Amino acid sequence: MVDRDPDKTRQALLFAAFTEINQNGFQAASLNNILKETAVTKGALYHHFPSKLELGYAVVDELIWGNVKESWVTPLIDVDNIIDALLSMIDRSIEYRNEDNICFGCPLNNLAQEMSPIDEGFRERINHIFDQWRAAITDGLIEGQANSIVKKTISAEASAYFIVAAIEGATSLAKNAKSVDVLRTSLQGLKEHIQTLRK
Amino acid sequence: MVDRDPDKTRQALLFAAFTEINQNGFQAASLNNILKETAVTKGALYHHFPSKLELGYAVVDELIWGNVKESWVTPLIDVDNIIDALLSMIDRSIEYRNEDNICFGCPLNNLAQEMSPIDEGFRERINHIFDQWRAAITDGLIEGQANSIVKKTISAEASAYFIVAAIEGATSLAKNAKSVDVLRTSLQGLKEHIQTLRK
DNA sequence: CTATACATACATACTGGTCGGTATGTTTAT
DNA sequence: ATAAACATACCGACCAGTATGTATGTATAG
């Protein structure tokens, strides 16, 4: 980094930190590795972020939240049929995976598992993202009930919890098994469940 | 440890390592903390285990597998009605949780998330446990189909994948939310799904 | 000129792991 | 029976390496 473009430097650090964290976890993520990857010096890093912890927080607030929003929240906003939207969202998440990236799992869940018992700052930030995600599903289901697309007998909130849980669980299993097939098979049950919510 | 009881020393190390790992993850687990906790010296530890890695493997193979077997495998062996067995197994896992232990999540899933992309030894061991667990569910469902307790139209294997995924996902969400209610709500959908497998 | 952006060298704490040595127990030879 | 030989269990100081973080300096843009 010689170009003296602070915004670019910051973004480069964030992205490298995201990758390093996603591969090794936050605690084992090495600042030196991040610096090596970006060719940024330690002084520059500590100019942009006061500590490793704050760098991690920024990764969650900016990069991870951006990813979740794009993949799991925006696709559910203002859709005609929430059931179809959920199903195609799940299909896209399967199509996105291949044998090379399946092993990294869900960045949000990875960090959640590692850091939520240790650091309250991480936990709150991650929990907020889960809340937004789940709220998007809940709202969609409620609207679907109003539009006679979704059964009125089900609890939208409970269904949203279950859907998020099943997606995260399936991603976890597939990560551990290093298998897209495991992801597909695990999510098949979820898709069938979602079909039963249809009016 | 002055009592010169090698088996007791080994078990104490394993248990302390399990706790330390469950709270901090494997990489951040400190051998010195484990030694402090058990009052075992470093020499003694390295007498029993050749490396930190092998200590971690032993925790998985012995302690974690023991827990999973007791809570999730044995309860499904030789049962009259697999559907009822699954439902009460899930209920027990909810009852076991309280506001103090909910934040630790599932030890198996914790380790899986952290270590499976980094270390193949961990991944294989953890995957083996998941396999045993899933196999117990699959076998139960197949037997249930033979005994006309479970619908013959469903795929026992796919259902087993989905059930494990949903349980792990729900435990993860609850861990992050620090809430038994989140666990209960998330698993409610799973219980309803399991009911639909009944013939 | 001054604040911002970055560079370099260093401080400090902690990590897993090693190594020489000791204490206790068990086997074996006479 | 008993001394010698050996094995197991454990001790704790110490090592090299690495971690994050800091102190101080320089270059540059406005």
The domain total for chain B is 2
Cβ contact A37:A20 at 8 Å: yes
3-state secondary structure of A150: strand
Q: What is the pLDDT of residue A11?
A: 93
Q: Is B54 part of a structural domain of the chain?
A: no
Q: Is B32 part of a structural domain of the chain?
A: yes
Render the burial of A80-97: b for 16+ CB within 10 Å, e for the rest.
Answer: eebbebbbebbeebbeeb
What positions of strand C are covered by protein, i.e. any atom < 7 Å from a CB?
A: 4-10, 14-21, 24-25
A172 touches chain B (CB under 8 A): yes
Q: Which of B107, B119, B140, B127 is nearest to B52 (CA)?
A: B119
Clarify whether residues A126 and A165 are in a common domain: yes
- Residue A99 makes CB contacts below 8 A (sequence gap 6+) with A178, A180
Clarify whether residues A94 and A3 are in a common domain: no
Q: Do A157 and B185 touch (CB under 8 A)?
A: yes
Q: What is the pLDDT of residue A2?
A: 52
Mutate to test the interface with A, among B168, B187, B191, B197 (most CBs of A within 10 A): B168
Distance of CA B5 to the CA centre of its chain: 29
As to burial, measured by CB atoms within 10 angstroms (0-12 exposed, 13-18 middle, 19+ buried), residue A160 is buried
3-state secondary structure of B78: coil
Cβ contact A70:A92 at 8 Å: no
| Average model confidence (pLDDT) across chain B | 94
Structure tokens at B63: 């302690």
Instruction: Check whether residue A100 has its CB closer than 7 Å to nucleic acid strand D.
Output: no
Rounded Cα gap, residues B34 and B21, in angstroms? 10
Q: Is A56 part of a structural domain of the chain?
A: no
Structural domain for A10, as ranges: 1-49
Predicted confidence pLDDT, tens digits, chain A (199 residues): 557 677 888 999 999 999 999 999 999 999 999 999 898 989 889 999 999 999 999 999 999 999 999 999 999 999 999 999 999 999 999 999 999 999 999 999 999 999 999 999 999 999 999 999 999 999 999 999 999 999 999 999 999 999 999 999 999 999 999 999 999 999 999 999 999 999 8
What positions of strand D are covered by protein, i.e. any atom < 7 Å from a CB?
A: 8-14, 18-25, 28-29
**What is the per-residue pLDDT across B131-149, written as a single tens digit (0 to 9) for each?**
999 999 999 999 999 999 9
N- to C-terminal Cα distance for chain A?
57
Q: Is A8 part of a structural domain of the chain?
A: yes
**What is the per-residue pLDDT across B36-49, written as a single tens digit (0 to 9) for each?**
989 999 989 999 99
pLDDT for B76 beyond 80: yes
Q: What is the pLDDT of residue B3?
A: 66
Q: Name the B residues in 19-58 with CB < 8 Å from any A CB.
A: 23-25, 27-28
Per 3-state DSSP, chain B is made up of helix, strand and coil in percentages (nearest 5) of: 75, 0, 25
Clarify whether residues B190 and B94 are in a common domain: yes
Q: Do B114 and A109 touch (CB under 8 A)?
A: no
Mutate to test the interface with B, among A101, A110, A168, A194 (most CBs of B within 10 A): A168
Clarify whether residues A99 and A174 are in a common domain: yes
Per 3-state DSSP, chain A is made up of helix, strand and coil in percentages (nearest 5) of: 75, 0, 25
3-state secondary structure of B198: strand
Cβ contact A116:A123 at 8 Å: yes
- Which CATH number does the domain housing residue B158 bear? 1.10.357.10
The count of CB pairs under 8 A between chains A and B is 163
Clarify whether residues A69 and A44 are in a common domain: no
Structure tokens at A161: 């919890």
DSSP 8-state assignment for residue B102: G
Q: Name the B residues in 2-21 with CB < 8 Å from any A CB.
A: none
Clarify whether residues B35 and B116 are in a common domain: no
Structure tokens at A46: 């500590």
Q: What is the pLDDT of residue B192?
A: 92
Rounded Cα gap, residues B91 and B95, in angstroms? 6
Structure tokens at B183: 């666990």
Half-sphere exposure of B10 (CA within 13 A, CB side): 13
Clarify whether residues A96 and A22 are in a common domain: no
Q: Whose CB is within 7 A of strand C?
A: A 1-6, 9, 40-44, 47-48; B 4, 29-33, 42-43, 46, 51-53
Cβ contact B10:B48 at 8 Å: yes
Angle (CA) A104 B54 A117, round 5°: 50
Clarify whether residues B24 and B112 are in a common domain: no
pLDDT for B183 beyond 70: yes
**What is the per-residue pLDDT across B89-130, written as a single tens digit (0 to 9) for each?**
999 999 999 999 999 999 999 999 999 999 999 999 999 999
Clarify whether residues B30 and B66 are in a common domain: no
Q: Is B55 part of a structural domain of the chain?
A: no
pLDDT band per the 50, 70, 90 thresholds, residue B1: low
Q: What is the pLDDT of residue A194?
A: 96
Q: Which of A194, A189, A82, A168 is nearest to B112 (CA)?
A: A168
Q: Is the dihedral of CA A171, A13, A71, A127 positive or negative?
A: positive
Q: What is the pLDDT of residue B136?
A: 98
Clarify whether residues B182 and B110 are in a common domain: yes
Longest Cα separation, chain B: 61
Clarify whether residues A85 and A158 are in a common domain: yes
User: What is the residue whose two structure tokens read 């530890």?
Assistant: B45
Q: Is A170 part of a structural domain of the chain?
A: yes
Q: Which of B91, B72, B85, B81 is nearest to B135 (CA)?
A: B72
Q: Which residue is nearest to nucleotide D11 (CA to C1')?
A: B43
Cβ contact A122:A111 at 8 Å: yes
- Which CATH number does the domain housing residue B29 bear? 1.10.10
Clarify whether residues B147 and B89 are in a common domain: yes
Q: Is A3 part of a structural domain of the chain?
A: yes
Angle (CA) B178 B74 A185, round 5°: 65
**What is the per-residue pLDDT across B3-32, written as a single tens digit (0 to 9) for each?**
668 788 899 999 999 999 999 999 999 999
Q: Is A55 part of a structural domain of the chain?
A: no
Q: Which residues of B touch A176 (CB under 8 A)?
A: 112-113, 116, 123, 126-127, 130
